[in-house]
């Protein structure tokens, strides 16, 4: 499955209290009806605390570069 765009992930994580762990992000997205592509992208994030949306965007960018550039 292609990686979701940082914009789509950020939309689904609106209202998250930062810093947040990957599991907190995943739960928030699931509780707020994120689609499967966003859920799978969050599952692929590194296990770390994210200080805000910028850190998530950077992590998705790294994943996208490793996978050959599928995020839009």
Each residue's pLDDT tens digit, 29-46: 999 999 999 999 999 999
Q: Left if phi > 0, otherwise alpha if psi is -120 to 50, otherwise beta: which for 47?
A: beta
φ and ψ at residue 13, rounded to 5 degrees: -100, 10
The model's confidence at residue 58, banded by pLDDT at 50, 70 and 90, is very high
The Cα 25–Cα 66 span in angstroms is 22
> What contacts 10, CB < 8 A, 6 or more positions away?
53, 56, 57
Domain boundaries, the chain: 6-67
- Segment 8-27, tens digit of pLDDT: 999 999 999 999 999 999 99
């Amino acid at each position: 499955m292609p990686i979701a765009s940082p914009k789509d992930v950020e939309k689904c994580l609106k209202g998250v209290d930062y810093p947040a762990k990957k599991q907190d992000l995943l739960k928030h997205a699931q509780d707020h009806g994120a689609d499967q592509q966003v859920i799978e992208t969050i599952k692929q994030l590194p296990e770390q605390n994210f200080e805000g949306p910028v850190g998530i965007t950077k992590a998705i960018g790294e994943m996208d570069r490793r996978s050959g550039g599928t995020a839009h």
